Structure 1
Amino acid sequence: MSVIEEHTTVEAQAIAAKKAAKKLSLLSTEEKNEALHILADTLEKNTQRILDANERDLQMGREKGYDTAYMDRLALTKERVFDFAEGLRQVAKLEDPTGKILSSWTLENGLLVEKVTVPLGVIGMIYEARPNVTVDATGLALKSGNSIVLKGGSSALSSNKAIVEVMHEALDETNIPKEAVQFIASTDREATQQLFTMKEHIDVLIPRGGGSLINAVVNNATVPVLETGVGNCHLYIDVEADVEKALNILVNAKTDRPAVCNALETAIIHKDWLEKNKDRLIKTLNEHNITVHGDEIVLSHIPSALIANEEDWANEYLSLDLAIKTVDNVEEAIEHIETYGTKHSEAIVTENRDTAKTFMNVVDASALYHNASTRFTDGGALGFGAEIGISTQKLHARGPMGLPALTTVKFLMTGNGQTR
């Protein structure tokens, strides 16, 4: 039975993944690493096959009028294929997160107790647009000893099918059963709904995409959810911010890749800093074609700005639009973030260590930056090799989720006939 045939039931795929997970948990680190290298090599060798499939998705996207940000997330290039293949090699270099004895002790009766890391089991991955997630999530799952059931968005169906077909061909040359990687090819919403409720087969769900997708999973799933979050990211430019640092960080965070979740969406600027540096700021914004949505004070300094409304403060633009809010102090900046932030990534630019300390200690987010761009909230950038998502919740995992986030623990007891 093919593991990506559309007529295969989701439950059958989940059952197959669970069986494969048991075999996968018995493999050595060396066997898993070898498989990741074979996966990477095979993906690179089949780059054109993957790009041809991706072009079919892009053509459909053009016909449906997808916006620029969405098309950027959907698009693959030779460089992007080689990047996610290299990501698998980087994951192979990372320490195996399973089988670690976190702590151990011996009871008075001689019973040895060990707390050991083990795979979660079967991961259900629900995501939109980005075909690279298919590879990143698979690599992290396999290295951590987990099977994975992939449910990508319909807009990337051809790309994802091609990628999974290539990975299955590669896995046939390894000790990892290809059933450990399941892809739900059906575009029927009922298939996604099935994933939400299969607690007996799926150990955790990870949604990755826009707010509507994440909320649908969180609100409807009976399977435990590792919640990732949308990125309404803020940069607070303090009155004591260095001008060069502030402008460079703003430009990088906003323009490097506007369509990603760690891109800047709102700049909060101290009124006195804006008054003093408005000409430099306006020149920088114009040079990078950034459209400003600001409050009344911003409009008085930047005539080309559009008046911001409530939606602008909450918006994840994923474009070269930027909301700008003015404040009198760091406390007002923190209050604004508290009201509109999504607990993803927040930054402050200041030369005052006390102000920075207040911001870093009080703001509630998974990633905080002092004098640095929010674009670093990424598993690869932070040395994780790859990431399966960025968690904005507080239980189990928070921030970029790499290998350790895909494990849990077992307590192993070894005795010599002890009874109670």
Structure 2
Amino acid sequence: MTSSASQSSPVLDTARRAREAAAVLAPLPRTARDAALLAIADALVERTDTIVAANARDIAKAREAGTAESVVDRLTLTPERIAAIAADVRQVVALPDPVGEVVRGSTLPNGLDLRQVRVPLGVIGIIYEARPNVTVDAAALCLKSGNAVLLRGSSSAYASNSALVDVLRDAVQRAGLPADAVQLVPGQSRESVRELMRARGLVDVLIPRGGASLIRTVVEESIVPVIETGTGNCHVYIDEAADLDMAVDILVNSKAQRPSVCNAAETVLVHAGIAEKFLPRALEALTQAGVLVHGDAAWQQAGPGLVAPATDEDWATEYLSYDIAAAVVPDLDAAVAHIRRWTSGHTEAIVTTSQAAARRFTQLVDSTTVAVNASTRFTDGGQFGFGAEIGISTQKLHARGPMGLPELTSTKYIVTGDGHTR
């Protein structure tokens, strides 16, 4: 595994400039970083017309290519959306600064003073798809946590992202920070992504945000450390001791409140002991919400003509649509076994009035978030009170679950002595 530090290319040269900028950012006080963020928010509003004009070029290309309107909508930037993005940046300013926080500390028996403190990761690369708002969100969170950021969006948003990064760089520089703290990775080909994934020694960590294919490619091919933001094959288990009214509400909310996001439920599992009572009610509620159920034999019998037959492909699918897989299981342990086999490790929920069942479920299920009598839709940095998130990590390293500002830092130990020798 070789370092890219001595090699040269447009991508690596960009990463090298980011590394130099990161060294300048790291010791700066919070006031300097917050000033840059406020400058960014103001600049976004001031240069809205320029951003919208660039975005219009991306939209025109997308429509010419026959892109689905749902994707075009995610790509679109309006003056109202830009104002909302600027407001989000101002909210980041108000968040607590993680840099310099003492994670733990003590005076050792030999008199040494030991402190573990949060420090920036350094250079963070973000590889993402479609949504140009991620360009600003990611830059704001990285700057707030003292990191330089390399942004590699999709080619479909290239004009939008270029305009946004120009605005960000100008604002950062006017605030007295190095403009290279925020850079767009040059190039629109897959080769530029490959180079970024091989920039070991220049880039400290990569964070992919997008569909399963993008995330898998980055995780499998990168030699730069990756924080894996996973897909959301989320489950809701309705226990034998569930309050059925509550169960229906949580199920429908988990699936249909916003089905295109990673914390939406994709499978419902129902204890056999309440299936006869619950399935007709659940089917009626899901159908009214526009959800198509892909069910096992029990669900098909409960709703002839309403339920599509489920296959292994359904259990493995993150639909991101008004579809849900459904099964009846003999008991809680069978539900856990199903989840262990098919989950992506994102979020699972149990609905039950039994404390023993809730306790066993939370102990046995190994996902980033396990909800008891609550919707899967709460797995979100904003909902958790973090103020913002850069993604939801489904790995088990230093960051797991919604990633706020602390997850964009590492730590170092500061050891202070008085002539101590060993």
TM-score bracket relative to the smaller structure: over 0.9
Give the corresponding residue for 2:336. Answer: 334
Structure 1 residue 400 and structure 2 residue 402: aligned? yes
Work out the CA distance in 2 between the residues paired with 1:284 and 1:49. Answer: 46
Residue 299 of structure 1 contacts residue 306 of structure 1 at CA under 8 Å; is this kept in 2? yes
Structure 2 letter corresponding to 1:351? T
Matched pairs, number: 414
Q: How is 1:16-31 mapped onto 2 (pairs within 5 angstroms)?
A: 16-31=17-32
- 1:325-377 alpha-carbon deviations (Å, 9 max, x no partner): 21121111111111110000111111222111111111010011111111111
Q: How is 1:121-136 mapped onto 2 (pairs within 5 angstroms)?
A: 121-136=122-137
Work out the CA distance in 1 between the residues paired with 2:303 and 2:51. Answer: 46
Residue 88 of structure 1 contacts residue 385 of structure 1 at CA under 8 Å; is this kept in 2? no
Work out the CA distance in 2 between the residues paired with 1:352 and 1:65. Answer: 51
Quote the offset at 1:404 in angstroms: 0.6
Work out the CA distance in 1 between the residues paired with 2:308 and 2:76. Answer: 31
Residue 70 of structure 1 contacts residue 259 of structure 1 at CA under 8 Å; is this kept in 2? no
Structure 1 residue 372 and structure 2 residue 374: aligned? yes
Deviates more, 1:182-191 or 1:96-105: 96-105
Structure 2 letter corresponding to 1:178? A
Deviates more, 1:44-53 or 1:407-416: 44-53
- 1:310-331 alpha-carbon deviations (Å, 9 max, x no partner): 1111111111111112112111
Residue 87 of structure 1 contacts residue 385 of structure 1 at CA under 8 Å; is this kept in 2? no
Identity of aligned residues (%): 49
CA separation of 1:235 and 1:72: change in aligned 2, threshold 3 A: farther
Structure 1 letter corresponding to 2:29? S
Residue 123 of structure 1 contacts residue 202 of structure 1 at CA under 8 Å; is this kept in 2? yes
Q: How is 1:194-209 mapped onto 2 (pairs within 5 angstroms)?
A: 194-209=195-210
Give the corresponding residue for 1:11. Answer: 12
Pick aligned residue for 2:361 from 359, 362, 369: 359
Residue 122 of structure 1 contacts residue 204 of structure 1 at CA under 8 Å; is this kept in 2? yes
- 1:222-273 alpha-carbon deviations (Å, 9 max, x no partner): 1111111011111112222222222222222222221111111111122343
CA separation of 1:85 and 1:16: change in aligned 2, threshold 3 A: same
* TM-score, structure 2 as length reference: 0.92
Quote the offset at 1:48 in angstroms: 4.4
- 1:262-303 alpha-carbon deviations (Å, 9 max, x no partner): 111111122343321333323212221111111111111122
Quote the offset at 1:68 in angstroms: 5.8
Quote the offset at 1:47 in angstroms: 3.7
Give the corresponding residue for 2:265. Answer: 264
Q: Secondary structure at the match of 1:172?
A: helix
Give the corresponding residue for 1:181. Answer: 182
Structure 1 residue 238 and structure 2 residue 239: aligned? yes
Give the corresponding residue for 1:210. Answer: 211
Give the corresponding residue for 1:57. Answer: 58
Residue 104 of structure 1 contacts residue 114 of structure 1 at CA under 8 Å; is this kept in 2? yes
Residue 366 of structure 1 contacts residue 399 of structure 1 at CA under 8 Å; is this kept in 2? yes
Structure 1 residue 103 and structure 2 residue 109: aligned? no
Quote the offset at 1:107 in angstroms: 4.9
Q: How is 1:38-187 mapped onto 2 (pairs within 5 angstroms)?
A: 38-67=39-68, 70-107=71-108, 110-187=111-188
Deviates more, 1:199-208 or 1:170-179: 170-179
Quote the offset at 1:151 in angstroms: 0.7
Structure 1 residue 191 and structure 2 residue 192: aligned? yes
CA separation of 1:260 and 1:80: change in aligned 2, threshold 3 A: farther
Work out the CA distance in 1 between the residues paired with 2:117 and 2:68. Answer: 47
* TM-score, structure 1 as length reference: 0.92
Deviates more, 1:309-318 or 1:378-387: 378-387
- 1:167-220 alpha-carbon deviations (Å, 9 max, x no partner): 123223212222100111411111111111111111111111112111111111
Structure 2 letter corresponding to 1:397? A
Residue 293 of structure 2 contacts residue 325 of structure 2 at CA under 8 Å; is this kept in 1? yes
Quote the offset at 1:142 in angstroms: 0.5
Work out the CA distance in 1 between the residues paired with 2:64 and 2:317. Answer: 26
Deviates more, 1:71-80 or 1:155-164: 71-80
Work out the CA distance in 2 between the residues paired with 1:334 and 1:144. Answer: 38
CA separation of 1:92 and 1:256: change in aligned 2, threshold 3 A: same
Structure 1 letter corresponding to 2:129? E
Which structure 2 segments of 5+ residues have no match? 1-8
CA separation of 1:63 and 1:321: change in aligned 2, threshold 3 A: farther
Quote the offset at 1:395 in angstroms: 1.0
- 1:3-31 alpha-carbon deviations (Å, 9 max, x no partner): xxxxx801111011111111111221112
Give the corresponding residue for 1:3. Answer: none
Quote the offset at 1:98 in angstroms: 0.9
Structure 2 letter corresponding to 1:50? I
Deviates more, 1:357-366 or 1:158-167: 158-167
Structure 2 letter corresponding to 1:356? A
* Root-mean-square deviation (Å): 2.1
Structure 2 letter corresponding to 1:347? A
Give the corresponding residue for 1:253. Answer: 254
CA separation of 1:256 and 1:68: change in aligned 2, threshold 3 A: farther
Residue 271 of structure 2 contacts residue 330 of structure 2 at CA under 8 Å; is this kept in 1? yes
Q: Secondary structure at the match of 2:255?
A: helix
CA separation of 1:75 and 1:291: change in aligned 2, threshold 3 A: farther
Structure 2 letter corresponding to 1:353? Q
Which structure 1 segments of 5+ residues have no match? 1-7
Deviates more, 1:187-196 or 1:166-175: 166-175
Structure 2 letter corresponding to 1:388? I
Structure 1 residue 293 and structure 2 residue 294: aligned? yes
- 1:91-123 alpha-carbon deviations (Å, 9 max, x no partner): 211111111233334456654333221111100
